[in-house]
Amino acid sequence: MEFMHRPIMPEETIRLLNIRPDGIYVDGTLGGGGHSSEIAARLGSGGRLIGIDQDGDAIEAAGKRLAPYADRVTIVRDNYSQMGRILKDLSISGVDGILLDLGVSSYQLDKPERGFTYREDAPLDMRMDQRQDRTARDIVNGYSEKELAGIIRNYGEERYARSIARHIVMARQKHPVETTGELTEIIREAIPGKARAGSGHPAKRTFQAIRIELNQELSVLKNHLEEMIDLLEDRGRICVITFHSLEDRIVKNTFRTCENPCICPPDFPVCTCGRRSKGKVITRKPLVPGDREMEENSRSRSAKLRVFERIR
């Protein structure tokens, strides 16, 4: 299967990155290279693009897609949390733009053996980096009922988290839960019939929660987003595309804090905390895909794009 991940809001993203032909740009979630190919096409001989992804299939696919721009592209297999170290190893002190597209790729969802999808039966995997040992199976069979309920509630925003966790624990007492199909059936039994008839697949939220926990998606974003802003040169921009409210909240709050970091009481006549603004939020409200894009690519429906500009 070809690695496909149709880039979300490509025109808006490229426009808001303000690409300069001689600039240095980082795609921290390279995927199949959809956004990166658009960036690379706008770079001159003095420009440079660094593409980062932890998925081996993505690295291979992006390498082929970006081959025409090999003279200006460097591809690194790693997590974007290591962006600072990667740039240091490449002797790059600052960049003009950073892109993060935090969505799970269509390839990862549609290839059953990767274990991301609840629509087909496959081993419980969900690793974005297949070099790591721990899989979704370890979480499902190893976490306590309380731990499972916590991640399903907090990362999946699932109202029936306690019931689902209880049903998982009861099921695994008979035998380990090995496949996505088994887990989906357990979830289905844990949710009341009327609730199952609502919008979306009943397993969607729980699968999202387990995937986030396994790959530490929210902690990586929360712990490293401000570091990435610090990597930007003056007037450099970071564009982040999120796909659920938990990610979007982290991005919104981090951008807001970087714009207005002062913690002095409101009645203080002058700032005494000494915290300086790192720049400005470009998108007061997040950009969302247009009707046509949502019709053509249903996975874009929940996407939100936020942009921050560094001012030194």
Model confidence over 201-243: pLDDT tens digits?
888 999 999 999 999 999 999 999 999 999 999 999 999 999 9
- How far, in Å, CA of 57 to CA of 128, rounded? 10
Whole-number average pLDDT of the chain: 91
Task: Give the H or E element holding residue 148.
Answer: helix 145-156
Phi, psi of 279 (to 5 degrees): 155, -150
pLDDT at residue 1 is higher than 70:
no
Q: Is the pLDDT of residue 199 over 70?
A: no
Architecture label for domain 10-107+217-310: 3-Layer(aba) Sandwich (3.40)
pLDDT at 149: 97
H-type alpha helices, 2-144: 10-17, 34-41, 56-65, 83-89, 106-110, 136-142
What single letter denotes the amino acid at residue 209?
A
3-class SS at 129?
coil
Q: Which helix (H) or strand (E) holds 235?
A: strand 232-242
Q: What is the pLDDT of residues 132-169, one digit of tens each?
A: 999 999 999 999 999 999 999 999 999 999 999 999 99
For the chain, domain boundaries: 10-107+217-310, 130-215
Q: Which CATH number fits domain 130-215: 1.10.150.80, 3.40.640.10, 3.90.228.20, 1.10.150.170?
A: 1.10.150.170
Which residues on neighbouring strands pair with residue 279, listed in sequence order? 310
Please tell me the predicted confidence (pLDDT) of residue 8.
85
Strand order in the sheet with 24-27: 73-77, 48-53, 24-27, 95-101, 232-242, 304-310, 279-281
What digits encode the pLDDT tens for the residues 50-69?
A: 999 998 888 998 999 999 99
Helix (H, G, I), strand (E, B) or coil at 106: helix
Rounded to the nearest 10°, the torsion over CA 300, 306, 307, 308 is -150
What's the gap between Cα 56 and its chain centre? 16
Q: What angle do CA 206, 202, 9 make, to 5 degrees?
A: 75
Closest to 141 measured CA to CA, from 189, 188, 186: 186
Q: What does the pLDDT look like over 107-132, one tens digit per residue?
A: 676 677 888 888 888 999 999 998 99
Is the Cα torsion angle 19, 24, 29, 33 positive or negative in sign?
A: positive
By percentage, how much of the chain surpasses pLDDT 70? 96
Tens of pLDDT, residue by residue over 253-308, are 999 999 987 878 877 777 777 788 899 999 999 999 988 888 888 778 889 999 99
